[in-house]
Amino acid sequence: MIKKFPIIRPNFVLSDAFSLLRKTKSEQIPDALSFTLKKIIPLEYLWLCNSGISAFYLVLEALKRISPREEVIIPAYTAGSLVVAIKKAGLKPVLCDISLLDFNMDEGCLHKVISENTLAVVLVHMFGIPMQGIETLRQKIPPQVFLIEDFCQAFGSRIKDKPLGVFGDVSFSSFNRGKNLCLLSGGVIFSNNLQLAEKLNQLFEQLKFEKSYDIENCLKILLYQTATNPYFYALFCNLMKEFKQTTAPKDFEVARFAQQKMKLAQAVIKRFDALCLERYRIGYFLLKGLSGISGIKLPSISEDYFVVFNRLPTLFEDMDKLRQAKSKLWQVGFETSQMYEYTLDEMFHLNIGQEVLPNAYYLARHLLTLPIYPGLRKKDLEAIIATVKKICCH
Ligand SMILES: Cc1ncc(COP(=O)(O)O)c(C=O)c1O
């Protein structure tokens, strides 16, 4: 059977699925997730909810209770759900161009779009890569503007010994499918800010718990692991398209993280350090192998960073070669993805234009992301590198 590696694959093992079937009363399950998360991101306050996007929405609702400002700055190329959350909170999205060095928000452009009405800036660490300059950003931005870190794609990445998630006033991440720490779904908020913590506590008191059924989750894990197994993926890839969200949802539910899923979290987080190390190792192997190929641009990554890649972004100068690489890589067994394909300007018809956001438009057109997860062996990575080399050097 021809092996096909999907673009993303959660790292469950069989015992994770069966951990859900252990007969334990939900109130007896220790909150091992919060305990471990606080060790990874050493901040005072933490809240668990049902998704990354509701985490972001709740942060915005809390900020609205502190400041009358209405604008929220986000990078022009990122998950569309951020705009949906900003609008749901009754606030205004403002787009900032990205940098073609690290593919994250461009700090120079950021200073130009901050106004008297800026409530918050969302610093998104795309693909697992830390936003350049984030360590010193707080000192350069007016204190009335809140810095929110979105590390949904970058859980586990660090700058020197500091994990992403500690650089803003508040941060959030996701445990959705395809994320570095996957628990089927879920989100988390971290902060050290007491005023914000009080508002978030009030908001959480009003929230219900998300609906969660152990048997259903157990089956989902089994199905998902089987469908994304490289030996079976060729059979399931069309079905899996339904689960790969590249467009923004219309709306979303906001709830607390289901207590029953703590059993799953307890099982999965034991392997988290090892998973991060594998993603880091695979990412740097691909980066090294692909560097120097003409016509390919790779993110430039500071030596101080420990990047837990969610996937590897590459920019193809020639879009024809991008299409060829996509199709050839699939033929030799590797799924790749162009991710969102559109800027947020296009997705939400904001009419800001390519002249103002040239890099975001370029990225949306020229991006091809490569798979990175444990299970890809050295010879698989070498096959990816050789295929890209052959196409670009032709
Ligand atoms: C950068 C970023 N922010 C936020 C989200 C939303 O997270 P969730 O899917 O858990 O709602 C995602 C999900 O893809 C994301 O990639």
336 within a domain of the structure (yes/no): yes
Confidence of residue 191 (pLDDT cuts 50, 70, 90): very high
152 lines ligand 1 (CB under 6 A): yes
Number of separate domains in the chain: 2
Q: What is the DSSP letter of 100?
A: T
> What distance in Å separates the CA atoms of residue 244 and residue 171, rounded to the nearest whole number?
24
Q: What is the CATH number of the domain that holds 288?
A: 3.90.1150.10
- 292 CA to centre of ligand 1 in angstroms: 32
232 within a domain of the structure (yes/no): no
229 within a domain of the structure (yes/no): no
Note the pLDDT tens digit of each residue in 290-336. 999 999 999 999 999 999 999 999 999 999 999 999 999 999 999 99
259 within a domain of the structure (yes/no): no
> What distance in Å separates the CA atoms of residue 181 and residue 227, rounded to the nearest whole number?
19
- Whose Cα sits closest to atom 10 in ligand 1? 52
Confidence of residue 211 (pLDDT cuts 50, 70, 90): very high
Q: Is 49 helix (H, G, I), strand (E, B) or coil?
A: strand
Q: DSSP letters of 145-174? A: SEEEEE-TT-TT-EETTEETTSSSSEEEEE
Examine the domain organization and report whether 162 and 54 are in the same domain.
yes
176 lines ligand 1 (CB under 6 A): yes
> What distance in Å separates the CA atoms of residue 355 and residue 251, rounded to the nearest whole number?
30
> What distance in Å separates the CA atoms of residue 118 and residue 145, rounded to the nearest whole number?
6
Q: pTM for the complete prediction?
A: 0.96
Instruction: Calculate the average pLDDT of the chain.
Output: 94
Of 174, 189, 243, the residue with max ligand 1 atoms within 8 A of its CB, to mutate for a pocket test, comes to: 174
Q: What is the CATH number of the domain that holds 45?
A: 3.40.640.10
> What distance in Å separates the CA atoms of residue 153 and residue 129, rounded to the nearest whole number?
8
Helical ranges in the chain per DSSP H: 14-19, 32-40, 52-64, 81-88, 107-113, 134-140, 194-205, 214-227, 233-240, 262-269, 272-290, 319-331, 344-347, 358-366, 378-392
> What distance in Å separates the CA atoms of residue 225 and residue 15, rounded to the nearest whole number?
12
Q: Token pair of 118, please? A: 């800026």
Question: Crossing angle, helix 214-227 and helix 262-269, to 10 degrees?
Answer: 40
C-alpha distances (whole Å) from 253 to each of 47, 51, 147 are: 16, 9, 24
Q: What are phi and psi of 150, to 5 degrees?
A: -105, 105
Q: DSSP letters of 272-305? A: HHHHHHHHHHHHHHHHHHHTT-TTEE-----TTE
- Whose Cα sits closest to atom 7 in ligand 1? 52
Of 53, 164, 253, 363, the residue with max ligand 1 atoms within 8 A of its CB, to mutate for a pocket test, comes to: 53
Examine the domain organization and report whether 158 and 83 are in the same domain.
yes
Note the pLDDT tens digit of each residue in 135-189. 999 999 999 999 999 999 999 999 999 999 999 999 999 999 899 999 999 999 9
Note the pLDDT tens digit of each residue in 218-277. 999 999 999 999 999 998 887 777 666 667 889 999 999 998 889 899 889 989 999 999
Q: What is the pLDDT of residue 26?
A: 61
Compute the chain's Rg from CA coordinates: 20
222 within a domain of the structure (yes/no): no
Examine the domain organization and report whether 32 and 150 are in the same domain.
yes
Q: How many CA atoms lie within 13 A of 217 on its CB side?
A: 29
**Full domain range(s) for residue 150:** 14-205
Amino acid letter for position 199 = K
Q: What is the pLDDT of residue 186?
A: 96
DSSP H/E element including 191: strand 187-191
Q: What is the pLDDT of residue 288?
A: 97
Examine the domain organization and report whether 278 and 195 are in the same domain.
no
329 lines ligand 1 (CB under 6 A): no
318 within a domain of the structure (yes/no): yes
81 lines ligand 1 (CB under 6 A): yes
Amino acid letter for position 73 = I
212 lines ligand 1 (CB under 6 A): no
124 lines ligand 1 (CB under 6 A): yes
Examine the domain organization and report whether 56 and 187 are in the same domain.
yes
- 187 CA to centre of ligand 1 in angstroms: 9
Q: What is the pLDDT of residue 25?
A: 65
Examine the domain organization and report whether 279 and 159 are in the same domain.
no
Q: What is the pLDDT of residue 244?
A: 63
Domain's final residue, options 161, 179, 205: 205
Q: What are phi and psi of 310, to 5 degrees?
A: -85, -35
Q: Is 48 helix (H, G, I), strand (E, B) or coil?
A: strand
Q: Is 19 helix (H, G, I), strand (E, B) or coil?
A: helix
More confident residue, 35 or 120: 120
9 within a domain of the structure (yes/no): no
Which atom of ligand 1 is the closest one to the Cα of 178? Answer: 14
277 within a domain of the structure (yes/no): yes
Average the pLDDT over 346-359 and give the result: 97
Domain's final residue, options 189, 205, 221: 205
Which atom of ligand 1 is the closest one to the Cα of 245? Answer: 14
Domain's final residue, options 184, 205, 226: 205
193 lines ligand 1 (CB under 6 A): no
Among all chains, which residue has been given the structure tokens 């120097």? 292
Note the pLDDT tens digit of each residue in 68-119. 999 999 999 999 999 999 999 999 999 999 999 999 999 999 999 999 999 9
- Residue 376 contacts by C-beta under 8 Å, 6 or more apart in sequence? 5, 282
For residue 93, the cross-strand partners are: 72
> What distance in Å separates the CA atoms of residue 211 and residue 362, rounded to the nearest whole number?
41
Examine the domain organization and report whether 193 and 73 are in the same domain.
yes
